[in-house]
């Protein structure tokens, strides 16, 4: 187990920690945690918010068991995922995978202070992979910065089911009401936090939910869920590279063949009740088939996702809460090999990342001309990369705006009509190890900065002073926002004041040389058109 590498827990703790290990008594149980002297933090890891769920069925909140002793010193199982990140974490012994995976982790400053605000992390990974044990999501560093800034917060990270285990869909799933299980897991975790975080010194009325990519889309879904009624589970949100619109909302016609392929793969195709058959199949048999070459995403279910996100925002049927939201300069969601207008239109219509018809595709091509000076990656002038496609920069620009940039602007504009506390950003600082094959400021680039873990080497922050200082700034901004809803209370000198979006539609541009404020008007006509599309 590499917990020491993730949380600086070394052999020196062996004797000392036992004497000072934290204990929390709550209705959920008596939790024995782990003290982290390097950060002066108490950790409660692998806390079950739900028992092992019945496969392809909504999970249930863990029953209160106040007399039960719980060892919360190690991560629990992570949920099954599919992709390079999962493979890396398993191969490196960072994580163990299984279905009994609905855990959360609590990182809190060692303090007698009560009612601390809570910053709750929902990882991304396309809803196909992700794990709270991933060292890139180690919350000790960001919690430490909150303490150094005299605005202490508690950090929480939550697991949820992914791929088929969390987002399976078909006529069978629809008819039995088992949609969006991963999102329901997240809401269940929020309910557990609401009921029990006070015992750990947290304030259940001051929870900020925070996610990146699919985690940010999840946050957007929770903002829109139940027409905006969040039952007091969170008061604010931070969305990095994701929003309340953007991820495709497909129906059973899209997913049925994926479900049928799954049943065929495990011998359930001829069963009278194929869904029950899938539940009865041993985990080891079904686990290899939970990803069907196409992703399982969220779907409209009438309650948690009542309608397309664009309609919820335009109609005002969403939760009115303070926000930080933003995107990276060059998110990079296009594809290679697009050389002609015809190929570009064909890719737009048939992409798995959005639902666009031919008329809309051709309108987008009109609004995004094949001019290299206007395309993504931005700031490279006339330079092109013909090996990636003669219209690569054009298609990248359209793809980023469809998936990230336009949804971010729509949510900022929509929320600002009701809430003054909205802050928008653009991340424009490259990764430490940028290579010629990683052109621009791509998706996930900001993650090493916002978590500030200088020890992990999967996606390293680096040790350069400029990166360290920018990391300190963004960690303090995020935790200051969680603490009192103002990211400007970071205590770092000579930083431009971040205006709220309602009074001044601008972005805070994060850079290692000098961050600044810009007008939020890039590609105005194209973005405005995208935001008229119902999706």
Counting every residue written for the chain, the total comes to 535
In degrees and rounded to multiples of 5, residue 350 shows phi and psi of -105, 5
Supply the residues annotated as catalytic: 213
The pairing of beta strand 116-122 with beta strand 103-109: unpaired
CA-to-CA separations, 422 to 32, 385, 413, 501, in angstroms, rounded: 38, 37, 9, 5
- Tell me the three state secondary structure of residue 26: strand
Per-residue three-class SS string for 321-339:
CCEEEEEECCCCCCCCCCC
- What pLDDT, on the 0 to 100 scale, is given for residue 437? 66
CA-to-CA separations, 189 to 137, 197, 231, in angstroms, rounded: 18, 11, 13
Query: Tokens standing for 447?
Result: 């993650």
| Integer Cα distance of 512 and 427 in angstroms | 10
CA-to-CA separations, 490 to 146, 150, 301, 480, 486, in angstroms, rounded: 9, 9, 40, 6, 9
- What pLDDT, on the 0 to 100 scale, is given for residue 292? 83
Contact 289, 258 (CB under 8 A): no
| Angle, helix 406-416 to helix 214-224, in steps of 10 degrees | 30
Of 258, 262, 213, the residue nearest 239 (C-alpha): 213
| Integer Cα distance of 335 and 345 in angstroms | 12
Which residues have C-beta within 8 Å of that of residue 360, sequence separation ≥ 6? 348, 533
Q: Is the peptide bond before 275 cis (omega within 30 degrees of 0)?
A: no
- What pLDDT, on the 0 to 100 scale, is given for residue 19? 44
| Integer Cα distance of 34 and 22 in angstroms | 6
| Integer Cα distance of 11 and 9 in angstroms | 7
| Integer Cα distance of 223 and 185 in angstroms | 15
Contact 35, 24 (CB under 8 A): no
Which residues have C-beta within 8 Å of that of residue 90, sequence separation ≥ 6? 96, 97
Extract the residue ranges of the chain whose pLDDT is less than 70.
1-19, 434-437
Which residues have C-beta within 8 Å of that of residue 421, sequence separation ≥ 6? 236, 322, 323, 485, 486, 500
Locate tokens 């995976």: which residue? 101
DSSP 297: -
Q: What is the pTM of this model?
A: 0.96
Q: Where are the domains of the chain?
A: 3-334+401-522
Contact 368, 262 (CB under 8 A): no
Q: List residues bridging with 219 in a β-sheet.
A: none
Residue 374 CA, distance from chain mean position: 29
Of 267, 265, 253, the residue nearest 291 (C-alpha): 265
Q: 444's torsion region: left (phi>0), alpha (psi -120 to 50) or beta?
A: left
In degrees and rounded to multiples of 5, residue 9 shows phi and psi of -100, 110
Kindly state which CATH superfamily the domain 3-334+401-522 is placed in: Alpha/Beta hydrolase fold, catalytic domain (3.40.50.1820)
Contact 69, 80 (CB under 8 A): no
Locate tokens 């604010």: which residue? 236
Q: For 414, what's the count of Cα atoms within 13 Å in the CB-facing half-sphere?
A: 29
């Amino acid at each position: 187990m590499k917990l020491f590498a993730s949380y600086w827990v070394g052999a020196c703790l062996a004797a000392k920690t036992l004497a000072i290990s934290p204990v929390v008594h709550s209705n959920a149980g008596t939790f024995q945690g782990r003290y982290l002297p390097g950060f002066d933090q108490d950790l409660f890891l692998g806390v079950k918010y739900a028992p092992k769920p019945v496969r392809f069925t909504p999970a249930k909140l863990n029953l209160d068991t106040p007399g039960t002793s719980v060892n919360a010193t190690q991560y629990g199982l992570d949920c099954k995922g599919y992709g390079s990140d999962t493979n890396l974490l398993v191969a490196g012994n960072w994580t163990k995978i299984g279905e009994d995976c609905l855990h959360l982790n609590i990182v809190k400053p060692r303090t007698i202070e009560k009612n601390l605000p809570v910053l709750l992390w929902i990882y991304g990974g396309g809803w196909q992979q992700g794990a709270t044990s991933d060292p890139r999501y180690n919350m000790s560093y960001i919690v430490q910065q909150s303490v150094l800034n005299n605005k202490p917060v508690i950090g929480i990270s939550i697991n949820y089911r992914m791929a088929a285990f969390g987002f399976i869909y078909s006529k069978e799933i629809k008819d039995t009401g088992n949609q969006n299980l991963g999102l329901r897991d997240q809401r269940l975790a929020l309910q557990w936090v609401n009921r029990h975080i006070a015992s750990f010194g947290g304030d259940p009325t001051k929870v900020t939910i925070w996610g990146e990519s699919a985690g940010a889309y999840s946050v957007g879904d929770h903002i829109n869920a139940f027409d905006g009624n969040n039952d007091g589970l969170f008061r604010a949100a931070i969305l990095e590279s994701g929003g309340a619109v953007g991820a495709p909302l497909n129906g059973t016609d899209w997913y049925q063949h994926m479900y049928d392929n799954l049943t065929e793969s495990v011998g359930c195709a001829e069963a009278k009740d194929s869904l029950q058959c899938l539940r009865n199949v041993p985990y080891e048999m079904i686990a290899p088939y939970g990803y069907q070459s196409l992703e399982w995403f969220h779907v409209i279910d009438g309650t948690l996702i009542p309608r397309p996100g664009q309609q919820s925002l335009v109609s005002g049927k969403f939760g009115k809460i303070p926000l930080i939201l933003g995107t990276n300069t060059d998110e990079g969601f296009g594809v290679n090999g697009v050389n002609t207008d015809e190929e570009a239109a064909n890719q737009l219509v048939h992409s798995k990342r959005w639902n666009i018809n031919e008329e809309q595709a051709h309108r987008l091509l009109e609004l995004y001309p094949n001019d290299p000076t206007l395309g993504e990656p931005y700031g490279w002038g006339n330079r092109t990369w013909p090996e990636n496609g003669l219209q690569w920069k054009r298609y990248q620009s359209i793809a980023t705006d469809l998936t990230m940039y336009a949804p971010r602007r729509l949510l900022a504009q929509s929320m600002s009509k009701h809430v003054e506390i909205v802050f928008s950003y653009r991340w424009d600082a490259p990764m430490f190890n940028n290579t010629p094959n990683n052109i621009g400021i791509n998706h996930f680039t900001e993650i090493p900065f916002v978590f500030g873990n200088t020890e992990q080497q999967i996606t390293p922050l680096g040790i350069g002073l400029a990166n360290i200082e920018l990391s300190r700034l963004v960690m303090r901004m995020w935790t200051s926002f969680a603490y009192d809803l103002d990211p400007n209370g970071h205590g770092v000198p000579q930083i431009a004041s971040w205006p709220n979006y309602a009074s001044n539609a601008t972005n805070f541009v994060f850079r290692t040389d000098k961050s600044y404020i810009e007008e939020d008007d890039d590609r105005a006509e194209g973005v405005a058109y995208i935001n008229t599309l119902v999706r």
